Amino acid sequence: MEEYIQYLRPETIAQITSMELRARFVVEGFITGLHRSPYHGFSVEFSEHRQYLPGDELKRIDWKVYAKTDRFFVKQYEEETNVKTYIVLDASRSMAYASEGRITKFQYATYLAAALAYLMMEQRDAVGLTLFDDRLRLSLPPRGTKVYLKQILIELERAIPSSSTETAKALHTLAEQIRRRGLVVVLSDLFDEPTSIIRALKHFRYKGNEVIVLQVIDPLERSFAFGADAVFRDMETQEELMTQPWHIQHAYQHALKEHIDQIQQACRDVSIDYVLLETTVPFNVALLEYLHKRIRMQ
């Protein structure tokens, strides 16, 4: 197996002690993978080029990029590349869940958020970070300096999931605070009332923002394959319930699928990009989704 693939796997990144190194290894592995895929030649010029559009001056076409990609790209000026991105991370207690042998949803989300911030900064975009649970816990506005990236990574390193979830309330508050349109990237398990979550996501779109929703769940939360008798504890209220999981597995899976489908369809209806990520999924899946979105925004 090629080494770069290892650095896209959550279990490998979890063994690295520094958030900055985690972000760098993921991004470098991602870019290496792009070089060895049909996207070859597209990633390294991403921040300085965009696809040719009718009306662009022919003298701005970069023929070297054309030779590598067989597609027309024009050189961009620096002001064309700058996008304000808001990384919005769910830090409620439900995100602390992990099935045996896996990293928590919160760990997965923080590693992914760090890699996204690192990649965005490399593309000269401005990046901010918001942490929320039942309220906004932290709100760093987007900026585009490497020193600021370090601050974002430090906050991700020391963040601990706590308190209950009021996803919609927190997202509505943030939507009202955003003064300049940009790209909003939400990382959450979305374990809240779906109708209220959908209204909050639409609020971002109403304000003119582009949105990517990355729903992070543990594989066992999806399969509910617990087997024998089990005691379930609500991670936010600490309430306990003893049951036989196999009795309710089918009903649970159906309810979860309905929840996910409802959010996914609502996102599609208002042109919000949605990706479901289990905590075993390599990070390049989400990074590629971001890359596609960023290219469409040019």
Same domain, 36 and 95: no
Q: Are strands 240-243 and 230-233 parallel, antiparallel or unpaired?
A: antiparallel
Determine the angle formed by the axes of helices 105-122 and 19-35, rounding to 10 degrees.
Answer: 70
- Cβ-based neighbour number of residue 285 at 10 Å: 14
State the average pLDDT over residues 137-166: 93
Q: Find the domain containing 64 and state its range.
A: 3-79
Query: Cα–Cα distance between 182 and 185 in angstroms, integer?
Result: 10
At 192-236, the pLDDT tens digits run 999 999 999 999 999 999 999 999 999 988 876 666 655 555 555
Same domain, 75 and 102: no
Q: What per-residue confidence (pLDDT) applies to 124?
A: 82
Q: What percent of the chain has pLDDT over 90?
A: 59
| Better-scored residue on pLDDT, 87 or 144 | 87
At 102-150, the pLDDT tens digits run 999 999 999 999 999 999 998 889 999 999 999 999 999 999 888 999 9
- ∠ CA 281-92-215, nearest 5°, is 30
Nearest to 284 by CA among 3, 1, 5: 5
DSSP state of 280: T
Query: Cα–Cα distance between 52 and 220 in angstroms, integer?
Result: 45
Same domain, 58 and 125: no
Q: What per-residue confidence (pLDDT) applies to 100?
A: 86
Q: How many domains does the chain have?
A: 2
Tokens representing 174 are 């943030």
Mean pLDDT of the chain: 85
Same domain, 75 and 198: no
* Cβ proximity of 89 and 114 under 8 Å: no
At position 57, the amino acid (one-letter code) is E
Same domain, 46 and 107: no
Nearest to 198 by CA among 165, 222, 172, 163: 172
Same domain, 12 and 114: no
Same domain, 44 and 144: no
Q: What per-residue confidence (pLDDT) applies to 79?
A: 46
* Cβ proximity of 185 and 214 under 8 Å: yes
State the average pLDDT over residues 159-184: 93
Q: Which of 60, 79, 98 is the last residue of a domain?
A: 79
- Across 2-11, 73-82, 240-249, the highest mean pLDDT is recorded for 2-11
- Across 35-49, 179-193, 232-246, the highest mean pLDDT is recorded for 179-193
Same domain, 165 and 30: no
Q: Which of 44, 79, 114 is the last residue of a domain?
A: 79
pLDDT band at 59 (very low <50, low <70, confident <90, very high): low
For 59, half-sphere exposure in the C-beta direction (CA atoms, 13 angstrom radius) is 0
Query: Cα–Cα distance between 17 and 19 in angstroms, integer?
Result: 7
H or E element that contains 183: strand 183-188
Domain of residue 208, CATH code: 3.40.50.410
* Cβ proximity of 145 and 171 under 8 Å: no
At 254-298, the pLDDT tens digits run 888 999 999 999 999 999 999 999 999 999 999 999 988 988 887
Does pLDDT of 36 surpass 80?
no
Which residues fall within 8 angstroms of residue 131, CB to CB, at 6 or more apart? Answer: 89, 91, 137, 138, 139, 155, 159
Query: Cα–Cα distance between 161 and 138 in angstroms, integer?
Result: 12
Block residue for tokens 């979830």: 165
Block residue for tokens 């543990």: 218
Same domain, 93 and 185: yes
Separation in Å, CA 273 to CA 112, 130, 151, 204, 226: 16, 19, 27, 13, 32
Same domain, 26 and 135: no
Tokens representing 221 are 């939360």
Same domain, 153 and 135: yes
Same domain, 70 and 169: no
Query: Cα–Cα distance between 167 and 105 in angstroms, integer?
Result: 16
- 145 by Cβ neighbours in 10 Å (0-12 / 13-18 / 19+) ranks as exposed
